[in-house]
Amino acid sequence: MKHLFAAALAALLSVAAASAQSAREQILANKYLAGSNYLDYDRLFPNKPLTPAPKGYEPFYLSHYGRHGSRWLLGDNEYTDPLKTLRKAQALGVLTADGQKTLDDLERFYPTTLRRLGDLTPRGERQHHGIARRMAQRFPEIFLSKHVAIDARSTVVQRCILSMTAACIELAAANPTVRIHNDVSESLQHYLNQNWSGEVRRQGGKGRDIRNHYQQQYTHPERFCAQLFTDPTFIADSIDAGHFMRRMFDVATNMQSHDTDIDFLHLFTPEECYDQWRIRNIDWYIGYGASPVTASVMPFSQRNLLRNIIETADTVTQTQATLRFGHEVCVMPLACLLELDSCGAVVDDLDRLDERWVNYRIYPMGCNIQLIFYRPKKGRSGDVLVKALLNENEATLPVATDSFPYYRWQDVRQYYIDKLDAFDAEYGRN
């Protein structure tokens, strides 16, 4: 037992060392991280080399859930709200030179959004080509096997379907003998994009006042607005300065989804980026993490997905892969439900949340969770091992092991079944 504890402690220390920089320090050094769910996957931290498989073991199955790649913003008002404010200021003659350039750049970009809201961008497509290419390179025993079967499924949303398509094209290029089955159907939605129900739905409506409190606490629009508008009276009386700043920040951070020379992030200081990120970090934690504000139940929004992962793995006897494509509102709570690294942290003091729970490490555009299963090469009898990757980096799991990042699948499987059964017993299976 002592060596199990030592190994688990070593694994936790390695994760802590990897994220020794605070979130504030990371964002001050790289403003793009403040984009939270708008972060370009390829701007996330570099992938580290994978730990070789234990002697005598080889990978035979990969189970995956991934978010679509980079996209346009979802709502027209996300672009038009700041546009209307800037146009109003222009009509009144109160734009600074920076304000005029911001308006000009936004006017130049806005036509590209028409009939494109929520669509996958070329950058988002490339992200999935890259992720799939690295899958094949890292796990050739699976993806380069002759006639290997890959079951790929997507939610019914176009950007997810196109992300799946990009990944499958890349895997087919790596192995022309691959047998890929694609499926898109409303019948798959119950686990690929599960609706809130039962206790999750009841708790999900909580926390609005807390969110609003932190939104006000961390929004300081005075300097930002003075950079764009010449008239303090206009700022005070004619616009909602805080709302305008937050809307512009969303546009600014999502510009990294596009191949463009337009940059709005330079309008924000590093400290303003950090503050705006803190608002979103708290908001996502309350809405999808194990926050006490929502009774720590929000990760169970993905209980159908976790059961599907377990039940599908139980059927695997041959070398193969299961790929699932959906949304960050699934990857985020799934990572928390799985308790990957610190994703499942329960934090009471939201002012100190970013010391333990950091959203951009979990769900950039294209974020993904991969579970890789290993079996003995000879005889194929013995324990099946599993390794978890969060955004292609090895992650800790909530059970003991003496060979991190490898865990006995039966231990992991039982832990999650017990966790799901306990939730169902308390709240009902609905």
Query: What confidence tens digit (pLDDT) does each residue in 138-163 have?
Result: 999 999 999 999 999 999 999 999 99
Torsion on CA atoms 149, 150, 153, 154, rounded to nearest 10: -160
Shortest CA distance to 122 belongs to which of 258, 239, 262? 258
3-state secondary structure of 387: strand
Question: CA-to-CA distance for 282 and 354, rounded, in angstroms?
Answer: 9
pLDDT band at 187 (very low <50, low <70, confident <90, very high): very high
With beta carbons less than 8 A apart as the criterion, state whether 99 and 228 touch: yes
Question: CA-to-CA distance for 429 and 420, rounded, in angstroms?
Answer: 9
Q: What pLDDT is stored for residue 381 in this prediction?
A: 74
Shortest CA distance to 186 belongs to which of 213, 155, 217? 155
Q: What is the pLDDT of residues 323-340, one digit of tens each?
A: 999 999 999 999 999 999
Q: What is the pLDDT of residues 92-102, one digit of tens each?
A: 999 999 999 99
Q: What is the pLDDT of residues 346-389, one digit of tens each?
A: 999 999 999 999 999 999 999 999 999 999 998 777 899 999 99
With beta carbons less than 8 A apart as the criterion, state whether 224 and 82 touch: no
Mean pLDDT across the chain: 94
Q: What pLDDT is stored for residue 13 in this prediction?
A: 43
Kindly report the number of other CB atoms within 10 A of residue 148's CB atom.
19
Q: Model pTM?
A: 0.93
Whether the per-residue pLDDT at 408 is higher than 70: the answer is yes
Whether the per-residue pLDDT at 412 is higher than 50: the answer is yes
For domain 2-427, give its CATH number from 3.40.720.10, 3.40.50.1240, 2.60.40.10, 3.20.20.140. 3.40.50.1240
The angle, 0 to 180 degrees and rounded to 10, between the axes of the packed helices 328-338 and 303-314 is: 70
Whether the per-residue pLDDT at 309 is higher than 90: the answer is yes
pLDDT band at 2 (very low <50, low <70, confident <90, very high): very low
Task: Give the CA distances from residue 117 to residues 74, 158, 318, in Å, rounded to whole numbers and listed in that order.
Answer: 5, 11, 41
With beta carbons less than 8 A apart as the criterion, state whether 64 and 324 touch: yes
Two tokens at 217? 């606490």
What percentage of the chain has pLDDT greater than the value 90?
92
* Strand ranges, E, within 381-424: 385-390, 393-395, 407-408
Question: CA-to-CA distance for 45 and 25, rounded, in angstroms?
Answer: 14
Kindly state the average pLDDT of the residues 209-216. Answer: 96
Bridging pattern class, strands 385-390 and 368-376: antiparallel
Kindly state the average pLDDT of the residues 278-304. Answer: 98
Shortest CA distance to 95 belongs to which of 104, 83, 86, 108? 86
